[in-house]
Structures are given as C-alpha cells and as structure tokens.
Structure 1
Amino acid sequence: MKQLKTGQFFGQTNRYIQLGGLTITDTEYTHDTVDWHYHEKPYFTFILEGKVLEGNKNEIYQCTPGSLLFHNWDDAHYNIKPPGYTRGFHIEIEQNWLQQFDLSLDTLKGNIAVEIPYVKMLFYKLFTESKRNDDFTNTTIDTLLINSLQNIKCNNQKNYNSVPKWIKTIKEILHENKAGDLSLIQLSELLDIHPVHLSRYFPKYFGATLGEYNRKLKVEKSLSLLFHKNKSIAEIAYETNFSDQSHYIRCFKEQMGKTPLQYRKSLL
C-alpha cells in the first residue's frame, strides 16, 4: 500500500505553501480511481469544486463542494472520481505545530466527516487567507485552524456523552431539508417533542438558536455556489432559500465579514 509524503496528492497541485508546521495545497484531482493509500501526516481535505467518493474500512463518503474530511495519519482510504473537474484544498499538520499550541489529535481517530457549518465556514476563510499570503497570513491561519480543531473536538466529545436521540434526527432533518426553513412548531411535530423543550435544549447541542443555525446552514450551502461565475447573487439567494437577495447579502456579511460578491472575487 502506498504512503503519500507531505504535500503529495493524486492530481495536479496548483498551489503549495508551507507555514510554520502546516503544508497547504490546492489540487485538481485527475485520477478516476485511486487505490488504497495513506498519508504520513494528519490532514484535512476540503472539496472546493466537483465530486469525489472516498471510502475507508468503516465509511463511504460522497463528497461534493463544501465537504470537509479529517484524516488521521496512517489511516488507509481509496477514492473514485466521476467525470468532470474536481478540486480539493488540503492542510497537513506537523507534530511541531500541535506542540507549540499544546494541542493533541488523540481523540480524533481515523477519518471523520465534519458536518459543523461553523467549521466549514472557517475552512472557506482558511482557503481565502492562504491565497492572500501576506505578513498576517501565518497568524490568521493558525487562529482559524485552532478554532476549527477545538470545535470538532468539542462536538465529538458531546457525541460520547449522553445525547438525546432527537439530536441526530434533527441534525439530519435540518441538513437534508430542501424546502426551506422549518419552524419550531413544524420541527416539534416531526420529532414529537414539545416546542418549549426543543427551544430550551437546541442551543446546548448546536451552539446556536434554531434560527441562527438555519442561517449558518444556508450561508454555508451558498459558499460552494459562488464558484459558479454564471450564477448571479440573486440566483444563489433563491437556491439557498433566502427570502430575497438583500437578506442573503446581510446574513452572509454577518457571518463571513464580506459580501457574497467580494467573497466570490477572493475565491476565484
């Protein structure tokens, strides 16, 4: 089984940066199939464009734009890419980077699909910051990555503790909902839980109110659409179920610090 060295991925790497214990690559995937392999360093894969299937001994992930996977070192997996352009952003982590911030990856085993909207938005910021590459890039990337890791570890810890069964159900409903926002009453009826109980405990497990979480989900979904230059901001607002373009722009700027148009320019 092949081991890939730091900075090595199957495809055409168009950008390669090393920043104080982090190796950052922006790669176009060119192989239709990639046999079982593993990497010498723990790393994140963030799909920017296209589709790719990734399988390991426990899971199969259908990755689309916005998918985020964490791979711990020495964990084998394979890939299948359908026809079309596919692009991934990677951050590989050296042990010395973890040590300087007193961090450990011991609780993050194997391959993990990260579904936390806030963390995915941090990775879009990591990507755009890596393209900026000025005097403040190193510190900014360190801060964003530490924040991401802490959120992932905290989320995983919640999964080990006693969590109500409705937490997993409501997460699936919210992430797969195609019809737009579901009200507190509608969710309560679907889950057969009193709306007061749902309202009280939702922030404990999701880190936000129901309305705030829904807005984060919609902004996160819109990020991958901004790569499509042929889509207008109004069309993206409609596809992600915002009430109108101005509402989308306002929510986007609150969460990302830029307007969608400004962010599109930084992505492209």
Structure 2
Amino acid sequence: MPAPSYHVNFELTDQFFSAYNINPASIAQALQQHPDVRCLMLNVFRELQHPDSNAIISLQQLLLNIVSDTSRLLLPGIPARVKTIKEILNDRWNETITLEELSVIAGVHPVTISKYFPDYFSCTLGEYRRKLKINRAIEKMNQSFYTGAQLAYASGFADESHFIRVLKKMTGLSPRYFKGEAQLR
C-alpha cells in the first residue's frame, strides 16, 4: 500500500514576486534543483500542522529560502567551476570525495573552494553533502521498507545515530514521524 501524500498549494500574487524581485520561473527551477527542498517542504508541512500568528511569515521565509538560494546557482555569470562542483557532488553524493580531489576535478585550489563555497551554496561543503544524503533518505523513506540502520547506510551515513541527528536538525522531525507515512520499520 503506498504511503499517503499531502499537497500544499501556494498562491503567490504578482506583488510577492515584485516585492522580492523574483522571476516566477525561478520557483520551478528552485523546486527541482534546491538540495534543501524536501527538508524545507517538511518544515512547511510541520508549520501548517500547528499554525499560529507567525505561520504566514514562517512560510514566506521558507519559500524565499528555496528561491533565493537556488537563484544564485542559476545566474548566467556563475563560474563553470561552480557548476562542475555542484554536478560532481550531486552525481557522487554517496562517495567519499576529498576537498583535494574536488579541487583537481574543478581546476581550482582547495582554499578557493573552501572560501567561496558558502557564497554559492549557502552552506559549507560538509553541510551540502549531508543535505544530499538526507534527500536520498527522504526519497527512500517514501519508497521502501527499511530498518533505521539500513536506511542510514543506504543514504550514505556511517551509522543510524548520526543519520537521526542530521535528519532532526534539517527537518525538525525524527524517523518515527515517518514511520506511519513511509512505513519505516
């Protein structure tokens, strides 16, 4: 039996787009390319479960985070090496890749990557890699039957406790939350 699904519709006015200088087309690209999109959408869901007077501003911030962070990687002036680094990290999300190896492939010094990575990705290299792994874990939670340890390993984490800590930090939810919806054992 498939897991239940939830749908959230955002109705955004032209004023929203103009107030934040956002191209509406960038939202679709952001949702497809942002490494945090699953975690951010889980935060949206969590916010909607217990709405209060701050819910609208929280939802607005979550949406802006998705769009603004991704828009930096879509700008025409982004160096090719940044795109290369993104592709390498996304393609090899489950491999151990060193900063030195990444710098050789991208053709830049490791210090350059360390210095400028947060400018383009809004996080450190380690945080970005953990985001990619959590995305894989969320995909697997919605597709298959896994024990916690199996899910952690299949998602590239060394152990279950580290996986749980990172999942809670990024989504505010523990694996137990997904147990009913994703049939995590």
TM-score (norm 2): 0.77
- Looking at structure 1, the residues matched to 72 and 104 of structure 2 have their Cα atoms a distance apart, in angstroms, of 29
2:127 alignment partner AA = E
Aligned length: 180
Q: Does residue 174 in structure 1 map to residue 92 in structure 2?
A: no
What is the aligned counterpart of 1:149 among 25, 42, 64?
64
Residue 190 of structure 1 deviates from its aligned partner by: 1.5
Q: Write out aligned runs for 1:16-31 (5 A).
A: none
Q: Does residue 252 in structure 1 map to residue 170 in structure 2?
A: no
Residue 94 of structure 1 deviates from its aligned partner by: 4.6
Contact 1:107-1:153 within 8 A present in 2 as well? no
RMSD value, Cα: 3.2
> Which residues of structure 1 form unaligned runs of 5+?
1-48, 50-84
The 4+ residue runs of structure 1 with deviation greater than 3 A are 85-88, 98-106, 127-130, 263-268
- Looking at structure 2, the residues matched to 242 and 256 of structure 1 have their Cα atoms a distance apart, in angstroms, of 16
- Looking at structure 2, the residues matched to 229 and 158 of structure 1 have their Cα atoms a distance apart, in angstroms, of 32
1:101-151 per-position Cα deviation (integer Å, ceiling 9, x unaligned): 984575123853531122331112223444x3x453x74365234322344
Q: Does residue 117 in structure 1 map to residue 35 in structure 2?
A: yes
Q: Bigger shift: 238-247 or 85-94?
A: 85-94
Q: Write out aligned runs for 1:4-153 (5 A).
A: 89-95=7-13, 99=15, 103=19, 107-109=23-25, 111-112=28-29, 113-130=31-48, 132=49, 134-136=50-52, 139-140=54-55, 142-153=57-68
- Looking at structure 2, the residues matched to 135 and 200 of structure 1 have their Cα atoms a distance apart, in angstroms, of 39
TM-score (norm 1): 0.56
1:109 alignment partner AA = A
What percentage of aligned pairs have identical amino acids?
28
Show the counterpart of 2:100.
Answer: 185
